[in-house]
Amino acid sequence: MNSTRPVAIVTGSSRGLGAATARLLAKSGYQVVINYSKSEADAKAVQASCEALGADTLLCRADVSDDNACRRMVDETIAKWGRLDALVNNAATTKFCIHKNLDGLSKDDFLHIYGTNVVGPYQMIRAAAPYLKQSGKGAIVNVASLAGVTAMGSSVAYCASKAALINMTTSLARVLGPEVRINAICPGFIQGEWLEQGMGKERYEKVKAAIENMVPLRMTATAEMIATTIRYFIEDALLTTGEILLLDAGSRIGSKSF
């Protein structure tokens, strides 16, 4: 079947930012692929909420570090709707490890994090590119991180992986145009269970309060706030490709002017 409505794949969309993005795109008139690797119950809940908003959906279990799984996800999308208009590379992983603990990360930790955070988006883009080009308004949004710019985050490996994703976004913008636009967003602290579970509740609350007391806008982001920018890059940023946008409430510029 060929859908008259645009179609979007959102990787890692069973929870957090991916779930918020899937729901917002469903509300905006998209058919949505909801992707997960482990959390089936959460993914089904997101699927139900998207369908309640009027979207047709496809639930796809796939680990983006597996190239065959990436290709299968795209193939199933095309088989269902006959088109693909947007790809949001949101799936990511990390290992929480303080940077000074040089023995805290192994080679396997780096390879696992890079496999999901860098190789995964590349594989998804490679599989999706022919269909995004056919769309006539294909758009890709890579969810990087402020950690990829400031080198401060959950671990050295995570920061390095997000820096690589930023670099890859710029590189691919040169070759995917004019048919496909590709941009990256770099959120700072995002409220939610991913950081809370990784940091522990007490540290999470301390870090959140410290950031909100320091940054110029005196706030930290919710997943829903970040999702609106993803939709902007897909729907409205028609003159923008290769852009790296920080969503950090102004933290990189500091708390005061002198």
Catalogue the active-site residues. Answer: 158
CA distance 155 to 110: 10
* Closest among 181, 192, 177, 72 to 124, alpha carbons compared: 72
Can you count the helices (H) and strands (E) in the chain?
A: 10, 7
> Dihedral sign, CA of 110, 197, 65, 159?
negative
Q: What is the DSSP letter of 119?
A: I
User: Which position has the token pair 């940054």?
Assistant: 215
Backbone angles phi, psi at 7, to 5 degrees: -125, 135
Is the separation of the CB atoms in 165 and 118 below 8 Å? yes
Instruction: Give the H or E element holding residue 10.
Output: strand 7-10
Strand positions, DSSP E, 104-188: 138-143, 180-187
CA distance 25 to 14: 14
Q: What is the DSSP letter of 243?
A: -
CA distance 60 to 35: 5
Strand positions, DSSP E, 195-248: 244-247
CA distance 105 to 96: 9
